[in-house]
Structure 1
Amino acid sequence: MIHGLTLGLLHHVVSWLLYPVLIALAVCLLMVLWECGSALAERFGALTRMQTGDALMFEHYAVRRLERVDLLARSGPILGLMGTLIPLGPGLSAMGSGNIEILATAMTVAFDTTVLGLFVGLLGYVLGRVRRRWYEACLQNIEQRDAI
């Protein structure tokens, strides 16, 4: 009795997570696209203007930017995996009862969230690596300028 009640409760809690995961994944996609635009703006002007400032202030700026893209690089695939696994439970149950339409919908959601999560993670990773290189070069320029 407790075993069935516990499993039923667990199933309901997990199924409630699907929409928050989809919303979080959409927010991550918007954020990573925003970060791509910010990176382009940095590359074509903002970084050269920042080199005239203070090294400590630039380091603080760089750390905040890198933390954001690192968070996106890690959270995108996690949310994609959650979006994959959550609809598979009901999809497999539907397959057991012969309802192929529900299974097809669940599989579509599963694959779409996986691809979207990996895309967010890939863009976040690439942005993080590229920005680290840019920021290190800018910081070296600032330190060389201050040493003179």
Structure 2
Amino acid sequence: MMIESTFLQLAQALLWPVLALVAIAFGYALWVAGATLMEAWQRWRQPGFSCLPGSTDIDMDELEMCALRQIEPLRLLSRVTPMLGLIATMIPLGPALQSVANGQGHEALAVFSGAFAGVVLALAAASVGLVVYSVRRRWLIAELMRIRKTRGMQA
């Protein structure tokens, strides 16, 4: 019983940090989506637009690492945020079910509303992150291919 109550207290203590991380992830997803729209506009206006360093002194391995560094946060956003949403849903589930068992369905409904709001925001952030990741990844691969082709012609 003592270990169960310790786990329950630890789980309850995680609720606010997890909700804060979901809020941060949602804000980051919106910011990244806006930045990607701006980059798409720049690419449309300037067909040769590049977000990779243009120096010929940088070898291809370094350029690939630079590209990976640019999209890795988006990959993490799209993979970790759904887990945070699940945690944000599961933590209040126990007390909500306890409220239902005690005949306090109104309290359980309030708890469920907050829990589901957290998972909705987390899934929205993950969805935006996945779309932006896919678009930026395609752009970066195209740039790397163009650079490889240009450097191959120079050699």
Q: Is the 8 A contact 1:52 1:142 kept in 2?
A: no
How far apart are the structure 2 equivalents of 1:52 and 1:110? 44
How far apart are the structure 2 equivalents of 1:94 and 1:130? 45
Residue in 2 that maps onto 1:53? 54
How far apart are the structure 2 equivalents of 1:118 and 1:142? 36
Residue in 1 that maps onto 2:100? 95
Against the structure 1 CA distance between its residues 71 and 50, is the aligned structure 2 distance closer, same or farther, given a 3 Å change threshold? closer
The equivalences for 1:98-137 within 5 A come to 98-137=103-142
Against the structure 1 CA distance between its residues 117 and 14, is the aligned structure 2 distance closer, same or farther, given a 3 Å change threshold? same
| Larger helix fraction of residues | 1
TM-score by length of 2: 0.84
How far apart are the structure 1 equivalents of 2:25 and 2:109? 26
Aligned residue identity for 1:24: L
Aligned residue identity for 2:54: G
Report the more deviating stretch, 10-19 or 101-110.
Answer: 101-110
Matched, 1:9 2:2: no
Matched positions, count: 145
Aligned residue identity for 1:81: L
For residue 114 of structure 1, report the CA deviation from its aligned partner: 1.6
Against the structure 1 CA distance between its residues 87 and 52, is the aligned structure 2 distance closer, same or farther, given a 3 Å change threshold? closer
Aligned residue identity for 1:28: A
Residue in 1 that maps onto 2:144? 139
For residue 53 of structure 1, report the CA deviation from its aligned partner: 0.2
Aligned residue identity for 2:39: E
Which ranges of structure 2 fall in alignment gaps of 5 or more residues? Answer: none
